Amino acid sequence: MDCSRVIRFASVVAISLLVTACAALPEVRYLKSSLVAPENPTVTSAQGTLSAKKSNSLLVKRWRNSHLDVAALAALEEAATGNPLIAGNKVTLLYDGPQTMAAMTEAISAAKDHINLETYIFDQDELGIRFADLLISRQRAGVQVNIIYDSVGTIGTPQAFFDKMRDAGIHLLAFNPVNPLKLTGSWGPNNRDHRKILVVDGVVAFTGGVNISNTYANGSLFRSKAKRNTKIGWRDTHIKIEGPSVAAFQWAFLNTWASQQSPDLPDNDFFPPLEEVGNKLVRVLVSEPGGDYDTYKAYVLAIQEAKKTIYITCAYFVPDAQILQALIDAARRGVDVKIILPGVTDSGLVFHAAQSFYSEMLANGIKIYQLQIAVLHAKTAVIDKVWSTVGSTNIDTRSFLHNNEINVVVFGDEFGNAMENAFFEDLRDSVEITKETWEQRSLVSRIKEWAARRFEYWL
């Protein structure tokens, strides 16, 4: 989460501390033993649900040499989350802001029926204005545009910016307004909509970590040979999805709209027939406060089942005790656990809270790297080269417990290889933190870590 905005709104957080009881994540240390997994995981496609024989064949044939039992993990994940796998998708990795914005702009420009956008941040800056003007132009061309934006994530954005879009005919919804007088339901100031979803004509979807902000006007050093004095943007990862799974993103957007008791949207063609356009097998995990903690459970299961490698890239890493123990257990049984975390940050409090875990992780064989120069904002993981996830969810209590989030799990070695290649590319611009160097940090740093750790539940 982009915590600098939450920190600027400290009064809201202070009030939420008084009015919100501390919820807790579910017990997952023994999750596997409590599940009754189907013999064959459910796989849906454009033609409906596949037979057990076909679904099992689909899971086995491509990854016969994988160390991970893909079918078994897929079945466990289905039992834990209740979400089936969806076959026949094309998934395109997008790196950093310029590549993501170019892909989204192309899709928006080609829209014919509707555009549904859900975002945490929508800034009134050069990039935000350009993006808004494009949406306005599509609205005026007869394409219905609907936007959900978080009221804390956009706290610094003038209302006039949104009014201009509303005056053009765009439907806008401020998620969970900060001012309780503007609410039609209960007030939960600590619950935020951190999702990044764009659905165009019901046939193409985007998600990941990229917000609508000028921080994404430039790329990071990812796969760049540019000189170090080049203007550096944030490092993030997004994905473009085509195929049957797009409907899951549409449902997520429409459910959020309905949850805010807003006026019904126009009757656009939100769910057109979707054909199979690729070979990617995905699971879409949608989470919300008080829900079933699907993304949390999927993460824990994948870590617990890992055989060889766990590679995580995380912008805001403040793990709860169960996630931390799962990572430690994996490292102790010989899994290569590597985590890339920020070396440059937009939130000092989260930065120091993450560092408060370093000593314990390093002592148990977890390798830690800090990305240099660019601000890290990506939220990705790849395990045993065949289980990958990209989305909006950070590994922290806020994302798992308090936020609306969305992640995509992709099964397959082709996508897994691309994720691993990206991970090792980021290692090129990262510095490893060793036990020896970490023990030499200053007393001031240790005090900051201790102090930040006291707030981990609310970060």
Rounded-to-integer distance, Cα 394 and Cα 400, Å: 8
Look up 196 and say whether it is catalytic.
yes
- Under 8 Å CB-to-CB from 48, ≥6 apart: which residues? none
The Cα-based distances of 436 to 72, 354, 358, 363 in angstroms read 40, 18, 12, 11
Helix axes 52-61, 70-81, angle to 10 degrees: 130
Q: Which among 2, 123, 150, 201 is annotated as catalytic?
A: 201
DSSP string, 56-76: HHHHHHS-TT-SS-HHHHHHH
Secondary structure of residue 336 in the 3-state scheme: strand
Q: Which among 2, 114, 150, 196 is annotated as catalytic?
A: 196
Q: Which candidate, 368, 234, 240, places its Cα nearest to that of 313?
A: 368
Q: Which among 193, 384, 396, 426 is annotated as catalytic?
A: 384
Amino acid type, 348: G
Q: Which candidate, 318, 289, 348, places its Cα nearest to that of 8?
A: 348
Q: Which among 338, 379, 402, 448 is annotated as catalytic?
A: 379
Secondary structure of residue 2 in the 3-state scheme: coil
Q: Which candidate, 211, 179, 237, 272, places its Cα nearest to that of 371?
A: 237
- Under 8 Å CB-to-CB from 346, ≥6 apart: which residues? 2, 3, 4, 375
Look up 194 and say whether it is catalytic.
yes
Q: Which among 171, 238, 377, 385 is annotated as catalytic?
A: 377
Question: Is residue 210 within 8 Å of residue 236, measured between CB atoms?
Answer: yes
Secondary structure of residue 92 in the 3-state scheme: strand
Structure tokens at 191: 């619950």
CB atoms inside a 10 Å sphere around CB 23: 12
> At 51, phi and psi to the nearest 5?
-65, 160
Q: Which among 114, 171, 194, 385 is annotated as catalytic?
A: 194
Rounded-to-integer distance, Cα 459 and Cα 453, Å: 9
Look up 377 and say whether it is catalytic.
yes
Rounded-to-integer distance, Cα 213 and Cα 224, Å: 22
Look up 227 and say whether it is catalytic.
no
Structure tokens at 412: 């397959």
> At 154, phi and psi to the nearest 5?
-110, 25
With tokens 């949608």, the residue in question is 286
Residues annotated as catalytic are 194, 196, 201, 377, 379, 384
